[in-house]
């Protein structure tokens, strides 16, 4: 299908000391989140429709033009170039373009591969306006769901009830809002100019910004419906032991926020299993959960793409790969809540139906909080550059219906700071922040296992349908700054798939993650791509793991891969250890 680019340029700069805010978020103690402070060193973006500017990140002039007011709901705009058609599926140096509402097709059930018998396409819209932040009168504070008051629960249920009572063709109605996730995650839209190439907002650097905007407008619609502009969505505090059950307010069958399609075995007091280990000891599961959070938020990331996800550009055939948070705790909650009695894990266990469960928005409010925590609060903030200056990321744009049923175009660069969107999060403890696994020193069993384990060149490619162990050569002796690279992970995109990674695991108790040997995870919710399979690579930082293990004199390490899914679906092309190409900053 033909489509025009939307020309727009971006300039990424760091504010000078004369213009940037003078203070920043700080911790009162390491396990606390402090809200409502100003931030400095923010990424400043300018975009003009009437003049030419130079993009500092690429140091090149780019043409400007008028915005194409197409009828779209979600898209990737700010394109720096003239209108063109691309006949191949080779990723180009442009953002993915917006789909057209009148080209919306039938979405697909990812588990069965069959077309859905529901219409996920939004109502037709026009007269698109560009987003402008409303005047900030009072900061909206998103509360922890397990701590909310009876008054808040009444407001929230009233808002959802009124959303459900809106006419079916109102884009703000409950099902229309739920269908946003269906339309753009299950293949209803193609990338313009790319034939039948699907548009997918998961498994790449667009995951966090898309869902942030999605919740932003959902929240504003709810506030409008109850006449309370200060209303804020709750976040499911599944990273805190006190919040590691489905929040109580969601389990009342008479409540508007109730959904019957949830796994009955995982209702309270069942503890969320972020590792999906199947361990039945609730104390061990809590310990595993804190270890998972520490790993994906602190320990395993060597650069911004390890956390945010890999770049996704125009013409990308399949999504390039998720970041640590998306493939970890995010996937686990979808699978934990989804109902196994339903054909495809509905509601939360499948992308097309996830938005039908109000718990989805509560879950993703915490996912959004993880992005905020990682950006501004973690003590390793100075070790990794937290800014993506690539214009293909910054100029990606989406269109949503706002609280007045008006189509609004937004960009990634406008959502990088949640406080500028008028909301923040309740201050709560972060127990996982101090949950570094205990050191491991015993080597006897590890060395016995090593003697019977094959080396990597004799194992790969490997179908991961059971626990696999392999010896990997280190780059050097000692506690080096190294990355474990698991490459050419080819997966069946229609299945839930997950495997965990251990290094020099001394006890082989795969139901326990709270140990130095746990290196990280890979997981996916079924998602739609043009191909039956997708291939990606993940990297796991080993620096801290080495510090907690006796590997100084070792030339090799033992890597154990533990599948958490049933059956086949994952093939791994190879595993290697490399020196960290982006070593930690010293200041």
The DSSP bridge partners found for residue 534 are: 491
What does DSSP say about strands 468-473 and 556-563: parallel, antiparallel, or unpaired?
A: antiparallel
Q: Which of 477, 544, 475, 510 is nearest to 301 (CA)?
A: 544
Cis amide linkage into residue 347, ω under 30° from 0: yes
Query: At 445, is the pLDDT very low, low, confident or very high (cuts 50, 70, 90)?
Result: low
- For helices 359-376 and 207-225, the axis angle rounded to 10 degrees is 130
Q: What pLDDT is attached to residue 313? A: 87
Return the top range by mean pLDDT from 113-122, 443-452, 526-535.
Answer: 113-122
Q: What pLDDT is attached to residue 528? A: 66
Residue 283 CB contacts under 8 Å (≥ 6 apart), including other chains = none
Q: What pLDDT is attached to residue 30? A: 35
Q: What pLDDT is attached to residue 137? A: 86
Q: Are 412 and 390 in contact (CB under 8 A)?
A: no
Tokens of 55: 């993009």
Q: Has 25 been annotated as catalytic?
A: no
Q: Has 89 been annotated as catalytic?
A: no
For residues 9-34, average pLDDT: 34
Q: Has 146 been annotated as catalytic?
A: no
Q: Which of 25, 47, 29 is nearest to 431 (CA)?
A: 29
Residue 469: pLDDT over 70 = yes
Q: Are 579 and 479 in contact (CB under 8 A)?
A: no
Q: Which of 5, 25, 146, 330 is catalytic?
A: 330
- For helices 174-185 and 207-225, the axis angle rounded to 10 degrees is 170
Q: Has 363 been annotated as catalytic?
A: no
Residue with token string 């680019």: 5
Query: At 115, is the pLDDT very low, low, confident or very high (cuts 50, 70, 90)?
Result: confident
Spatial strand order of the sheet with 397-401 comes to 129-130, 407-411, 397-401
Q: Are 308 and 208 in contact (CB under 8 A)?
A: yes
The 3-state DSSP class for residue 575 equals: strand
Helical (H) or strand (E) element with 537: strand 533-541
Q: Are 300 and 327 in contact (CB under 8 A)?
A: no
pLDDT tens-digit profile of 283-337?
999 999 999 999 999 999 999 999 999 998 888 877 789 999 999 999 999 999 9
Q: Are 407 and 401 in contact (CB under 8 A)?
A: yes
pLDDT tens-digit profile of 137-165?
899 999 999 999 999 999 999 999 999 99
From first CA to last CA, the distance across the chain in angstroms is 50
Query: At 479, is the pLDDT very low, low, confident or very high (cuts 50, 70, 90)?
Result: confident
* DSSP secondary structure letters along 253-268: TTSTT--S-S-GGGST
**Alpha carbons 477 and 556: distance in angstroms, whole number:** 9
Q: Which of 5, 25, 146, 181 is catalytic?
A: 181
Binding site for Cu cation: residue ranges? 181, 202, 211, 330, 334, 364
Angstrom CA distances, 469 to 92, 131, 449, stand at 38, 51, 9
Distinct helix (H) and strand (E) counts, the chain: 12, 15
**Alpha carbons 363 and 271: distance in angstroms, whole number:** 15
Per-residue burial over 338-373, b if 16 or more Cβ lie within 10 Å, else e, is bbeebebbbbbbbbbbbbbbbbbbbbbbbbbbbbbb
Angstrom CA distances, 522 to 250, 402, 537, stand at 29, 35, 10
Average pLDDT, the chain: 81
Residue 520 CB contacts under 8 Å (≥ 6 apart), including other chains = 295, 296, 299, 300, 324, 328, 500, 501, 538, 540
Residue with token string 């500028």: 420
Q: How far is CA 575 from the centre of its chain?
A: 24
Least confident of 112-126, 285-299, 365-379, 500-514: 112-126
Q: Has 364 been annotated as catalytic?
A: yes
Q: Which of 5, 211, 527, 565 is catalytic?
A: 211
Residue 426 CB contacts under 8 Å (≥ 6 apart), including other chains = 35, 141, 142, 143, 144, 147, 235
Q: Which of 5, 202, 527, 565 is catalytic?
A: 202
Query: At 194, is the pLDDT very low, low, confident or very high (cuts 50, 70, 90)?
Result: confident
Angstrom CA distances, 97 to 77, 104, 183, 407, 414, stand at 6, 14, 15, 17, 18
**Alpha carbons 523 and 514: distance in angstroms, whole number:** 19
Q: What pLDDT is attached to residue 76? A: 30
For residue 377, count other CB atoms closer than 10 A to its CB: 20
Q: Are 225 and 302 in contact (CB under 8 A)?
A: no
For residues 14-31, average pLDDT: 34
**Residue with the larger pLDDT of the pair 184 and 254:** 254
Q: Which of 34, 14, 16 is nearest to 24 (CA)?
A: 34
Q: Which of 257, 255, 256, 276 is nearest to 266 (CA)?
A: 276
**Alpha carbons 361 and 340: distance in angstroms, whole number:** 21
Residue 349: pLDDT over 50 = yes
pLDDT tens-digit profile of 423-437?
999 999 999 999 999
Rounded (10°) CA dihedral 142, 144, 150, 156: 40
Domains and CATH numbers, the chain: 54-434 (1.10.1280.10), 444-579 (2.60.120)
For residues 569-573, average pLDDT: 94
């Amino acid at each position: 299908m033909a489509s025009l680019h939307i020309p727009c340029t971006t300039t990424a700069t760091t504010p000078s000391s004369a213009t940037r805010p003078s203070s920043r978020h700080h911790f009162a103690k390491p396990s606390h989140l402090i809200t409502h402070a100003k931030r400095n060193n923010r990424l400043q973006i300018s975009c003009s429709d009437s003049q030419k500017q130079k993009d500092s990140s690429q140091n090149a002039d780019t043409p400007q033009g008028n915005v194409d007011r197409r009828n779209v709901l979600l898209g990737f705009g700010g394109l720096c170039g003239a209108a063109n058609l691309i006949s191949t599926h080779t990723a180009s140096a442009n953002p993915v373009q917006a789909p057209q509402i009148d080209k919306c097709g039938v979405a697909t059930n990812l588990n069965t591969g069959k077309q859905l018998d529901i219409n996920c396409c939004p109502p037709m819209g026009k007269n698109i306006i560009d987003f402008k932040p409303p005047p900030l009168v009072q900061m909206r504070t998103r509360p922890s769901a397990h701590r909310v008051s009876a008054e808040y629960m009444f407001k929230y249920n009233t808002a959802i009830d009124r959303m459900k009572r809106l006419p079916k063709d109102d884009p703000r109605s409950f099902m229309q809002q739920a269908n946003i996730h269906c339309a753009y995650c299950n293949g209803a839209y193609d990338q313009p100019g790319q034939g039948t190439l699907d548009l997918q907002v998961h498994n790449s650097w667009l995951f966090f910004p898309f869902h942030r905007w999605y919740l932003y407008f959902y929240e504003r619609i709810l506030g409008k419906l109850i006449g309370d502009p200060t209303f804020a969505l709750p976040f499911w505090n599944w990273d805190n032991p006190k919040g590691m059950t489905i929040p109580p307010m969601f389990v009342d069958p008479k409540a508007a926020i109730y959904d019957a399609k949830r796994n009955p075995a995982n209702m309270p007091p069942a503890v969320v299993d972020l590792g999906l280990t199947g361990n039945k000891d609730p104390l061990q599961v809590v310990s595993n959960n804190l270890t998972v959070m520490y790993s994906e938020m602190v320990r395993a990331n060597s650069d911004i793409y390890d956390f945010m996800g890999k770049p996704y550009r125009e013409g990308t055939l399949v999504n390039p790969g998720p970041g640590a948070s998306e493939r970890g705790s995010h996937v686990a909650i979808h699978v934990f809540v989804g109902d196994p009695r339903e054909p495809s894990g509905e509601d939360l266990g499948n992308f097309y139906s996830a938005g039908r469960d109000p718990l989805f928005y509560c879950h993703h409010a915490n996912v959004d909080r993880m992005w905020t925590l990682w950006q501004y609060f973690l003590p390793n903030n100075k070790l990794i550059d937290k800014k993506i200056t690539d214009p293909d990321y910054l100029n990606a744009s989406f269109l949503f219906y706002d609280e007045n049923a008006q189509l609004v175009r937004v960009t990634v660069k406008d959502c990088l700071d949640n406080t500028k969107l008028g909301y923040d999060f309740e201050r709560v403890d972060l127990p996982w922040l101090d949950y570094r696994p205990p050191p491991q020193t015993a080597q006897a069993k590890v060395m016995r296992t090593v003697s019977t384990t094959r080396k990597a060149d004799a194992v790969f490619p490997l179908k991961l349908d059971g626990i696999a162990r392999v010896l990997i050569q280190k780059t050097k002796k000692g506690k080096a700054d190294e990355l474990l690279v698991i490459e050419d992970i080819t997966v069946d995109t229609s299945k839930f798939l997950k495997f965990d990674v251990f290094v020099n695991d001394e006890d082989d108790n795969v139901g326990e993650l709270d140990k130095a040997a746990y290196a990280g995870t890979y997981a996916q919710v079924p998602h739609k791509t043009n191909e039956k399979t997708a291939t990606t690579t993940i990297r796991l930082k080993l620096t801290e793991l080495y510090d907690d293990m006796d590997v100084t004199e070792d030339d090799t390490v033992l890597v154990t891969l533990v599948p958490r899914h049933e059956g086949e679906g994952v093939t791994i092309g190879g595993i290697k250890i490399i020196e960290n190409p982006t070593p930690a900053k010293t200041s």
